[in-house]
Amino acid sequence: MLRLGRREFDAHEPVIMAIVNRTPDSFYDQGATFRDEPALARVEHAVAEGAAIIDIGGVKAGPGEEVTAEEEARRTVGFVAEVRRRFPDVIISVDTWRHEVGEAVCEAGADLLNDAWGGVDPRLAEVAARYGVGLVCTHAGGAEPRTRPHRVTYDDVMADILRVTLGLAERAVSLGVPRESVLIDPGHDFGKSTRHSLEATRRLGEMVETGWPVLVSLSNKDFVGETLDKPVKERVVGTLATTAVSAWLGAQVYRVHEVAETRQVLDMVASIAGHRPPAVGRRGLA
């Protein structure tokens, strides 16, 4: 059972986390939701299309202009409070590695802290424990926030992913984070080459077998672009193919830009796997 905010999800229930970037320089939408009104419209649209979680980020993952903790909080805290006011039942996640920002967004109503940089600030898990919110434990290969990988090597990339994410998850629980609210994430692209991310996807079942719910953040990432030699705006098909494979292997939460398309893929895979009946059943009955 996965429990986040007011919601509970069974083991075979796929969950969509919609991305809302409060940044002027995000790699995918180039700041389309930096201002409040477009961002709130994005939340409304994503919820209508089937997103259970809204993931709010105030700093883009890649290199760029410095964003202080104060500026990151300015971009996210008030927005979290407004989303909580307008959408009381939605699960609010904040993509941050900083404990100061984590504390502020939890005060404003966040339900989940999405630590994409692998526990680089160990106090973030302490914040999650203190507020009783969820935590995403990600493998980033020891990379510093907002850096790109350079000639990274692993003897066994999945073994390293398991070592790091399980260690972070157990530490979080030992601090007091509810076990049912901890997720693990292989960290596609983070501290990895394209081949590493492909192997992590191929072996995702090894993470699922640990019993921790698995989150994957695949949407339009560089490993998809390099695999197919496609620019950012032409990676949706590759993303959805990777989503289908991840769903078949048992991942539960999907951090995405395209909510409606992802919902169809997840529903189709769930029906093939026998976890969901067809929406209608007319064929062969007339």
Q: Which residues are catalytic?
A: 221, 255
C-alpha triplet 238, 94, 197: angle, nearest 5°: 30
| Closest among 141, 125, 144, 145 to 133, alpha carbons compared | 125
Contact by Cβ (8 Å): 52, 7: yes
H helices, E strands: number in the chain: 10, 10
| Closest among 264, 248, 141 to 204, alpha carbons compared | 248
Element of type H or E holding 261: helix 259-273
C-alpha triplet 187, 184, 116: angle, nearest 5°: 45
Q: Maximum Cα–Cα distance for the chain, whole Å?
A: 64
* CA 42 to the chain's CA centroid: 17
CA distance 211 to 231: 35
